[in-house]
Amino acid sequence: MPIMDDAKRFGRLVVVPNRPLALLAEAAARAVIAGKADPGQAKQVYLAYFDAVVVRSKTQRADSRKVQVSKLRQIMLLAAEQPDAVLKLLARVSKLHAETIRYRKVQGLFASMVDAAREQLKSRKQLTNSQLVDVISKGRRE
C-alpha cells in the first residue's frame, strides 16, 4: 500500500538526524548537474530549506547558517566539477554510513557527505570504501 511506504519513509526521516539535509544535498547536486543551479546559489537553496523548517530569525544564528551554507556549497562544487561522480559518491556515503554506524561512532550523515565531497574535490580518482569509512568515522559533528 503506497501510503504505508510513505509513512515508513517519513518515519525514517525523523530517526536519522539531518537526513533531510542529506536529501537536500543530493537534490542540489542533481540540480547542478542538470544546469538548473550552481554552487553560488548554495545560500539561497539552504535558506529556502531552512525557511520551510522554522522561522529563520528566531532559531538559527547567522554564523551557524553560514556554516551550513558552506557545507552545501561543497557538495554543489563537487557536482559542478565532477558531475559523473557526485551522486554515486553520495549514495556510497549513505550506504557506508548506515553500515558503519552499527559498529563505530560516526559523524552525522550530512557532515559525512560534506567531508567526502571535500576529499573527492582533492582528487579525480574515486575514493575507496576504506577512505570513506575513515571520513565517516572522524570527529562527530553536524
Under 8 Å between Cβ of 142 and 107:
yes
Average pLDDT, integer, range 31-40: 93
> Looking at the domain assignment, is residue 106 inside a domain?
yes
Higher pLDDT, 19 or 59: 19
Domain total of the chain? 1
The pLDDT-based confidence of 19 (bands split at 50, 70, 90) is confident
* 72-106 pLDDT, tens digit each: 999 999 999 999 999 999 999 999 999 998 888 99
Per-residue pLDDT at 46 exceeds 60: yes
Q: Give the domain extent around 113.
A: 17-137
Q: Is residue 11 assigned to a domain?
A: no
The whole-angstrom separation of Cα 72 and Cα 67 is 9
Q: What is the pLDDT of residue 55?
A: 55
pLDDT of amino acid 60: 56
Contact 29, 78 (CB under 8 A): yes
**Residue 85 within any structural domain of the chain:** yes
pLDDT in tens, 99-111: 998 888 999 999 9
Residue 121 pLDDT class (50, 70, 90 cuts): very high
Residue 9 forms part of a structural domain: no
Retrieve residue 17's grid coordinates. 538526524
- The reply to whether 7 falls in a domain is no
In a domain, 10, yes or no: no
Residue-level pLDDT at 2: 59
The Cα diameter of the chain in Å comes to: 45
Residue ranges of the alpha helices (H) in 16-142? 19-33, 42-53, 56-59, 62-81, 83-100, 109-121, 129-137
What pLDDT score was predicted for residue 127? Answer: 95
Give me the pLDDT at residue 131, please.
Answer: 95
pLDDT bracket for residue 142 (50, 70, 90) = very low
Q: Which three cell numbers stand for residue 86?
A: 557526485
